[in-house]
C-alpha cells in the first residue's frame, strides 16, 4: 500500500489464496476427524425429555429433610467458590508482583513470573481437583483447593496488569520521604490497585461459581454430584430442577457482583 | 447500599451528632468494617459447611507429594497413543468455535441496541445470552452426552453452545461501542437494513470478531481437553482412564502434551492478532 | 546546608547529566535552578535525595554524606528532605490526610505504618500542615476530588508533615494555571520565610524565578553557567549565556511533562 495504491500487487493476492487454502484444509481436517456416526437414535426424545423436565421440574427436590437437596447443593457450591476465590485472591499477589514489568529490575524476571502464571492457567481446575482428591479425599475441600490454585493463574495475570498501569509518581514521592520498600508498597502501590484487585476478584468469583457447579462430576463437592447422578439415572425432572437452580443462582451472583463492581471502580 | 455512599464525598454531611465544618469530620469506617465482618462471617460459614481445615491440607500434602513424584518421569512413549485423541481434541475445538461463532453473529446483532433499536427484541436476546452463559462447558457436555451418547459429537455440541454464549456477548458489546457516524451515512444513502449492517456495522467489528474468535478457540482447546471426563470425546477420556489405572506418569504425559499444544496455539493466535491489529 | 563536590552524572547511554557541579546552598536560602529543558535541572534536584544516583563526586547534606549513606541511614536522611513534584504524585484514590500522613512513614516502624497506626500528634501535625496551606477543610476528601492547585498544596503539606529542613521542588507549577501558580509559589515563599526551610526549586520560567528566588543557579548541558543573587540575573546576561531568551523557552515547554 506504500507504493501506488491503485495497483494491486500480485503477491498480496497469492497470500490471500494461501490463507484461504490453509483455512479450508483446517476445516476439512476437523470435519473428517470427528466420528459423527455414533449418535444415538433417541437423541431427539431425550432432548424433549430434558426440556420437559425443565418446564415441569421436580420441585420437591428443592428442599428435602435428609439434606441431600438442591438448596444444600447450591450452598455447598457457593461455599466452594467463595473459599476458592478467597484463597487465590491472596496467593496470587506475590505472583502478580513477580510478573509485573514495573516491579522487577530485570525483564526476564517478570517474564518468568508471567510464564508461571500461564502455566497454572493451562492446568484445568478439574484436573487439579482430581489431584487434590488424592491428597485430601473426595469432597468439597478438594474442590476449594483446586479452584484456589487454578484461579491464581488468571487473577495473578489481571492483578499484574493492574500493577503495570499504576502511576510511578506516588512511589517516587514516598521514596523521597524516606519510606522503605514495604512502606512504598503499602502507601503508594496498594491504594492504587486495590479497587482493581477487588473488582477482578469478584469477576473471578463469578467464574468460580460456574466452575464449582461441575466439580461434583468427579467428586469434588457441590451440585455437580447430584446432577451427574440424575443424568445417569435419566431422572429428567430432577435434571431440570438442578439446571434451573444453577441458572438462577449464577444469574443472581452475576447481578450482585456486577452491581458491586460498578460501585468499586 | 446506604444512600450516603452514592453522593460525592464533597457533600458529606457531618454524621453521628458531630456537626462541625462539613468535610472536616472524619468519615466513619462503619461501612467498611461491616463489609469486612460480613465477608469474614461468610468465609467462616463456608469453611464450616465444607469441612475445610488447614490440618487436613497438611496431613494430605504428603499424599499429594507422592502423587507428584509418581508423575515423573513422564511416560514419553505414551505420546504415540495419545497423539490421535489430542488431535481430535483440537478438531473438536475448531468445529465448536467456528459453528458457535457463526451462530453468534445474528444473535449479537439482535442484542445490540444500536442495530436492533427495539427493546422488545434486544432485551430478550440479551436475556437468552446471559442464561446460556450461566452454564459451564463441562455441564453442557454432561447433558449432551446424555442426549447424543458418548463421543466427540457431544463435546462439539457443548463447545458450540459455550462459544456461542461467549462470542455473542463480546461481539454485541463491541457492536454497541461502534462509531455511529458510518451508520448515519448508510441511512443517508438509503441503504436497507441488511446493506446498512453489511457496510456500516460489519467493517467496524471484523477485527474484534476475529480476535474474539481466536480467544474463544484458545479457551476451547483448554476446555476440550477435559470434556472427556464426562465422556464427551477428546484427550480427557484417556486422562480419566490412566488416572483410574493409577498411571500418573501417563497422566503427566497427557498434561504435558496438552500444555504444549495449548502454548503453540496461543502463540499462533497471538501472531495472527498482531498481524490483524 | 547542601554541598555539591565535583558532582558528575553520566547516563548509561552516554548522555551527560551533570558535569563537575560544585556549589553550596546554605540554610534558609530560596534557590531557583533555571535552564533549558534537558539542561540537567531535574537530575540535579533528584541527585540530592538520591532518587537519581550520581556517577562521580559527593553530595553532603547537613554535614553528612548523602552519597555514602546506605539503607536506613539513607532513609533517615531522605526523611529530612521534602520533595514536591510537577505531577503532584499523590495517591489519588487515598484521602488527603492519608497522603499527608504518608510523609511520616519514615519516622515509624514498618509494622506500625502498615497498620496505619499513626500517633495522635502525627495526625495533628498533618492537619496543621494542611492548615498552613489553607486546605484543612479538605482533609478527609479523596485526593482526586481536588483541583490541580489544591493537590499541589497537599503535596506541600506532605513535605511539611515530614518536618523537613529542606524542600526540593521539581517544576512545582508547570502543570498549573497562572493564578494557582502564584498561590503555590506564595505558599513556598511563606514556608521558606516563616519556617526557615531551605527551598531548592526548579523552574523554567525566568520571570517567576526572579520574583521568588534569593539566589539563581543557571544550568546548561549539565554545567553551572550562572550562580548569583537575583539582582545579577538580568535578561541581557541570560540571553548572552544561552544565546536566546529563556522566556521563549518557557513559553514553548509550558505544559510539558517530566
| Contact in structure between C55 and C43 (CB atoms under 8 Å) | no
**C70 and C131 in a common domain:** no
**B202 and B117 in a common domain:** yes
pTM for this model (two decimals):
0.82
**B39 and B94 in a common domain:** no
Domain count, chain B: 2
Chain A to chain C Cβ contacts (< 8 Å): 85
**C69 and C91 in a common domain:** no
Q: Is residue A21 part of a domain?
A: no
Q: Is residue B68 part of a domain?
A: no
- What distance in Å separates the CA atoms of residue C166 and residue B111, rounded to the nearest whole number? 62
| Contact in structure between B235 and B85 (CB atoms under 8 Å) | yes
User: Helices then strands (H, E): number in chain C?
Assistant: 10, 10
Domain count, chain A: 1
CB contact under 8 A, B24 and C136: yes
Domain range holding C107?
87-163
Per-residue pLDDT reduced to its tens digit, C93-148: 889 999 999 999 889 888 888 888 889 899 999 999 999 998 889 889 999 899 98
Instruction: Please report, for residues B42, B147, C72, the alpha-carbon distance to residue A73 in angstroms, rounded to integers and kept in the order given.
Output: 16, 24, 55
Q: Is residue B83 part of a domain?
A: yes
**C253 and C169 in a common domain:** yes
Q: What would the DSSP string read from start to end of chain A?
A: --S-TTSPPHHHHHHHHHHHHHHHHHHHHHHHHS--TT--TTHHHHHHHHHHHHHS--GGGGS-TTS-SHHHHHHHHHHHHHHHHHHHHHHHHHHHHHH-GGG-SSHHHHHHHHHHHHHHHHS-HHHHHHHHHHHH-SSHHHHHHHHHHHHHHHHHHHHHHHHHTS-SHHHHHHHHTT--HHHHIIIIIHHHHHHHHHHHHHHHHHHHHHHHHHHGGGTSSSTHHHHHHHHHTT-HHHHHHHHHHHHHHHHHHHHHHHHHHHHH-
Find the closest chain B residue to A30 by CA distance: B91
- Find the mean pLDDT for residues A236-241: 88
Domain range holding B92?
74-276
Domain count, chain C: 2
CB contact under 8 A, B23 and C140: yes
Write the residue in B43, B60, B136 that is nearest to A135 by C-beta.
B60
**B107 and B10 in a common domain:** no
Q: Is residue A15 part of a domain?
A: no
**C176 and C257 in a common domain:** yes
* DSSP H or E segment with residue C81: strand C81-84
Q: Indicate if ipTM > 0.85.
A: no
HEC secondary structure over B142-198: HHHHHHHCCCHHHHHHHHHHHHHHHHHHHHHHHHHCCCHHHHHHHHHCCCCHHHHHH
Chain C residue numbers with beta carbons less than 8 Å from the beta carbon of B10 are 141, 145
CA proximity to C49, closest of C162, C216, C161, C125 = C162
Final residue in a domain of this structure, among C96, C131, C163: C163
**C44 and C7 in a common domain:** yes
**B117 and B47 in a common domain:** no
**C120 and C231 in a common domain:** no
Chain centre to alpha carbon of residue C134: 20
- What distance in Å separates the CA atoms of residue A132 and residue A138, rounded to the nearest whole number? 8
**B224 and B111 in a common domain:** yes
Q: Supply the pLDDT for residue C32.
A: 94
Share of chain A above pLDDT 90, in %: 45
Per-residue pLDDT reduced to its tens digit, A106-118: 888 889 999 899 8
**C243 and C176 in a common domain:** yes
Asked if the C-beta of A75 comes within 8 angstroms of chain B's C-beta atoms, the answer is yes
* CATH code where residue A152 lies: 1.10.3720.10
Task: Give pLDDT < 50 ranges for chain B.
Answer: 1-22
pLDDT greater than 60 at residue A145: yes
**B39 and B79 in a common domain:** no
Task: Give pLDDT < 70 ranges for chain C.
Answer: 244-258
Q: Is residue B60 part of a domain?
A: no
Q: Supply the pLDDT for residue C254.
A: 46
* DSSP H or E segment with residue C71: helix C71-79
Instruction: Please report, for residues A146, A182, C117, the alpha-carbon distance to residue C112 in angstroms, rounded to integers and kept in the order given.
Output: 36, 12, 6
CB contact under 8 A, C139 and B24: yes
**B249 and B175 in a common domain:** yes
Amino acid at each position: 500500500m506504500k507504493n501506488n495504491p491503485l495497483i494491486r500487487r500480485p503477491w498480496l493476492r497469492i497470500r490471500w489464496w494461501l490463507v484461504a487454502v490453509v483455512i479450508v484444509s483446517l476445516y476439512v481436517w476437523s470435519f473428517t476427524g470427528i466420528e459423527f456416526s455414533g449418535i444415538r437414535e433417541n437423541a431427539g426424545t431425550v432432548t424433549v425429555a430434558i426440556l420437559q423436565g425443565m418446564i415441569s421440574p421436580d420441585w420437591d427436590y428443592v428442599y428435602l429433610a435428609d439434606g441431600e437437596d438442591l438448596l444444600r447443593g447450591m450452598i455447598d457450591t457457593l461455599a466452594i467458590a467463595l473459599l476458592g476465590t478467597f484463597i487465590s485472591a491472596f496467593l496470587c499477589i506475590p505472583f502478580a508482583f513477580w510478573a509485573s514489568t514495573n516491579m522487577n529490575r530485570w525483564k526476564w524476571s517478570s517474564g518468568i513470573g508471567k510464564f508461571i502464571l500461564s502455566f497454572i492457567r493451562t492446568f484445568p481446575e478439574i484436573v487439579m481437583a482430581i489431584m487434590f482428591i488424592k491428597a485430601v479425599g473426595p469432597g468439597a475441600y478438594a474442590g476449594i483447593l483446586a479452584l484456589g490454585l487454578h484461579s491464581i493463574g488468571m487473577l495473578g495475570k489481571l492483578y499484574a496488569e493492574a500493577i503495570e498501569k499504576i502511576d510511578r509518581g506516588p512511589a517516587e514521592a514516598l521514596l523521597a520521604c524516606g519510606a522503605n520498600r514495604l512502606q512504598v508498597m503499602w502507601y503508594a502501590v496498594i491504594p492504587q490497585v486495590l479497587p482493581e484487585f477487588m473488582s477482578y476478584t469478584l469477576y473471578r468469583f463469578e467464574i468460580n461459581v460456574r466452575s464449582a457447579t461441575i466439580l461434583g462430576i468427579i467428586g469434588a463437592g457441590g451440585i455437580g454430584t447430584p446432577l451427574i447422578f440424575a443424568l445417569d439415572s435419566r431422572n429428567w425432572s430432577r435434571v431440570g430442577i438442578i439446571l434451573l437452580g444453577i441458572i438462577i443462582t449464577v444469574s443472581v451472583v452475576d447481578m450482585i457482583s456486577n452491581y458491586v463492581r460498578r460501585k468499586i471502580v | 447500599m446506604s444512600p450516603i455512599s452514592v453522593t460525592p464525598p464533597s457533600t458529606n454531611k457531618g454524621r453521628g451528632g458531630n456537626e462541625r465544618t462539613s468535610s472536616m469530620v472524619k468519615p466513619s469506617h462503619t461501612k467498611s468494617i461491616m463489609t469486612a465482618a460480613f465477608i469474614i462471617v461468610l468465609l467462616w460459614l463456608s469453611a464450616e459447611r465444607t469441612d475445610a481445615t488447614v490440618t487436613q491440607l497438611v496431613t494430605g500434602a504428603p499424599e499429594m507429594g507422592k502423587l507428584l513424584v509418581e508423575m515423573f518421569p513422564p511416560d514419553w512413549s505414551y505420546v504415540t497413543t495419545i497423539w490421535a485423541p489430542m488431535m481430535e481434541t483440537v478438531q473438536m475445538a475448531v468445529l465448536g468455535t467456528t459453528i458457535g461463532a457463526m451462530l453468534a453473529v445474528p444473535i449479537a446483532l439482535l442484542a445490540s441496541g444500536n442495530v436492533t433499536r427495539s427493546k422488545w427484541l434486544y432485551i430478550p436476546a440479551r436475556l437468552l445470552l446471559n442464561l446460556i452463559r450461566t452454564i459451564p462447558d463441562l455441564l453442557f457436555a454432561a447433558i449432551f452426552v446424555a442426549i447424543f451418547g458418548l463421543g466427540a459429537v457431544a463435546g462439539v455440541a457443548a463447545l458450540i453452545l459455550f462459544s456461542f454464549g461467549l462470542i455473542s456477548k463480546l461481539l454485541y458489546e463491541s457492536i454497541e461501542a461502534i462509531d455511529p457516524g458510518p451508520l448515519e451515512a448508510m441511512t443517508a444513502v438509503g441503504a436497507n437494513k441488511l446493506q446498512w449492517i453489511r457496510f456500516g456495522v460489519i467493517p467496524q467489528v471484523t477485527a474484534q470478531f476475529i480476535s474474539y474468535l481466536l480467544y474463544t478457540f484458545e479457551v476451547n482447546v483448554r476446555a476440550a481437553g477435559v470434556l472427556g471426563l464426562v465422556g464427551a470425546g477428546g484427550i480427557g477420556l484417556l486422562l480419566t482412564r490412566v488416572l483410574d489405572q493409577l498411571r500418573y506418569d501417563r497422566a503427566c504425559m497427557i498434561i504435558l502434551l496438552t500444555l504444549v499444544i495449548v502454548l503453540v496455539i496461543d502463540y499462533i493466535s497471538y501472531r495472527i492478532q498482531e498481524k490483524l491489529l | 546546608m547542601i554541598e555539591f563536590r565535583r558532582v558528575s552524572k553520566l547516563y548509561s547511554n552516554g548522555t551527560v547529566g551533570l558535569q563537575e557541579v560544585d556549589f553550596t546552598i546554605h540554610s534558609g536560602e530560596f534557590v531557583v535552578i533555571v535552564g533549558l529543558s534537558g539542561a540537567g535541572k531535574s537530575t540535579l534536584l533528584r541527585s540530592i535525595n538520591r532518587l537519581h544516583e550520581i556517577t562521580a563526586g559527593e553530595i553532603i547534606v547537613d554535614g553528612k554524606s548523602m552519597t555514602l549513606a546506605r539503607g536506613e541511614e539513607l532513609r533517615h536522611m531522605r526523611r529530612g528532605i521534602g520533595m514536591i513534584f510537577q505531577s503532584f504524585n499523590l495517591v489519588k484514590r487515598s484521602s488527603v490526610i492519608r497522603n499527608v500522613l504518608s510523609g511520616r512513614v519514615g519516622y515509624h516502624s514498618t509494622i506500625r505504618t502498615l497498620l496505619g497506626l499513626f500517633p495522635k500528634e502525627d495526625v495533628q501535625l498533618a492537619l496543621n500542615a494542611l492548615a498552613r496551606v489553607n486546605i484543612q477543610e479538605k482533609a478527609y476528601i479523596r485526593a482526586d476530588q481536588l483541583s490541580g492547585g489544591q493537590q499541589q498544596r497537599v503535596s506541600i503539606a506532605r513535605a511539611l508533615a515530614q518536618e523537613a529542613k529542606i524542600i526540593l521542588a521539581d517544576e512545582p507549577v508547570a502543570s498549573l494555571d497562572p493564578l494557582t501558580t502564584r498561590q503555590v509559589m506564595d505558599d513556598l515563599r511563606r514556608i521558606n520565610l516563616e519556617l526557615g526551610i531551605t527551598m531548592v526549586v526548579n523552574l523554567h520560567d525566568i520571570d517567576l524565578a526572579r520574583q521568588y528566588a534569593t539566589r539563581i543557579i543557571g544550568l546548561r548541558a549539565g554545567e553551572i553557567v550562572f550562580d548569583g543573587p537575583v539582582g545579577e540575573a538580568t535578561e541581557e546576561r541570560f540571553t548572552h549565556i544561552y544565546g536566546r531568551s529563556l522566556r521563549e523557552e518557557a513559553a514553548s515547554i509550558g505544559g510539558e511533562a517530566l
